[in-house]
Amino acid sequence: MSTTKLICKTNPNQTRFRVLLTSDMHCTDLYGREWYGLTNQQRMQHWVDTVLKEHQADPFDAILIPGDISLDYHDKKTPYDKGYSTGLEFIKDYLSQLPPIPRFILAGNHEQFTHEDWLALTGNHRQGAVIIGNNTFIMLDSFACDLSHSYDSSDKYSPMDVDYIQKMIMAYPQNDVYLVSHYIDLNLDTKAFCHLLQNEPKIKGIFAGHTHLNRVMKLGEDYRNLVIAETGNFSYTLEKDLTKGFWGFRDLVITPDTAVSHYIVAESNAIIDGQLRSFARTVVDTTVHK
């Protein structure tokens, strides 16, 4: 499988890095429906404006998107095969408004693009790595095992590519490593991947989208107390307790001593169950490692 390696130009004296992790925006005007009282255009612009505000306050060094920018492979009403891609709309109309810092877009389970089509759409392969200072973000494809145009392959999880992870660790042996994927499920994954997480001290944290939640799962001592931090959504929330989050995304702030991820709930007005709800910007901190 071809991969893309991005090496971010950073200041050689830079010791603090801030990375944006934002997933599940699901740019779509499917069925012309509004989500929570916003048209697709309004919701996508709200995502842009929220990211820009964060960037102006504390700039990001890179933008990592763990999948589902669209619903291009959702059902037969949205076939990319028919030449219509809201993933392309997302990139051209919205992502383009963000500053030109390095970015990597993973394919989600609603994005069964072939390797060639994904590269043409996003500028990166379905799998790759982003190097930021002494940190390697390994961008893993969790829905690569069946790229037949089935419109929705949400049940076809493909295990993490252990060989590629090991290759990237060996390529940058001094670096701390973070794994990023659309979905990571240890129950569906291989023993080899679990063994790697348990035994490879360079792996410092894991990020995943897909669930539309901002949960942090602590894997416990067997897994060196690694955490999987989920990256929320900017589309349909699956959070039952809206005091814990609504639309939002994560950052990861890396300093020489520690790495902390903040889940940032976007300041938003939304109509939920017929009622106008207002969300203030709130931030929930998670120490990824220290």
Strand partners, 276: 271
Taking the complex as a whole, how short is the minimal distance between the CB of residue 109 and Fe ion, in angstroms?
A: 7
Residue number with CB closer to Fe ion (24 or 72): 24
- What backbone torsions phi and psi does residue 9 show, to the nearest 5 degrees? -80, 115
Stretch 60-79 residues interacting with Fe ion (CB under 5 A): 68
Taking the complex as a whole, how short is the minimal distance between the CB of residue 71 and Fe ion, in angstroms?
A: 8
What does DSSP say about strands 176-181 and 135-140: parallel, antiparallel, or unpaired?
parallel
Residue with tokens 């949960």: 215
Interface with Fe ion includes 251 (CB under 5 A)?
A: no
Taking the complex as a whole, how short is the minimal distance between the CB of residue 5 and Fe ion, in angstroms?
A: 26
Residue number with CB closer to Fe ion (68 or 72): 68
Picking from 215, 219, 220, the residue whose alpha carbon sits closest to that of residue 250 is 215
Stretch 18-37 residues interacting with Fe ion (CB under 5 A): 24
Taking the complex as a whole, how short is the minimal distance between the CB of residue 163 and Fe ion, in angstroms?
A: 27
Picking from 10, 2, 19, 90, the residue whose alpha carbon sits closest to that of residue 260 is 19
Taking the complex as a whole, how short is the minimal distance between the CB of residue 121 and Fe ion, in angstroms?
A: 17
Determine the residue type at 33: R
**Helix axis angle, 191-199 to 162-171, nearest 10°:** 30
| Contact map string, positions 83 to 122, toward Fe ion, x by CB under 5 A | ----------------------------------------
Per CB under 5 A, residues contacting Fe ion are 24, 68
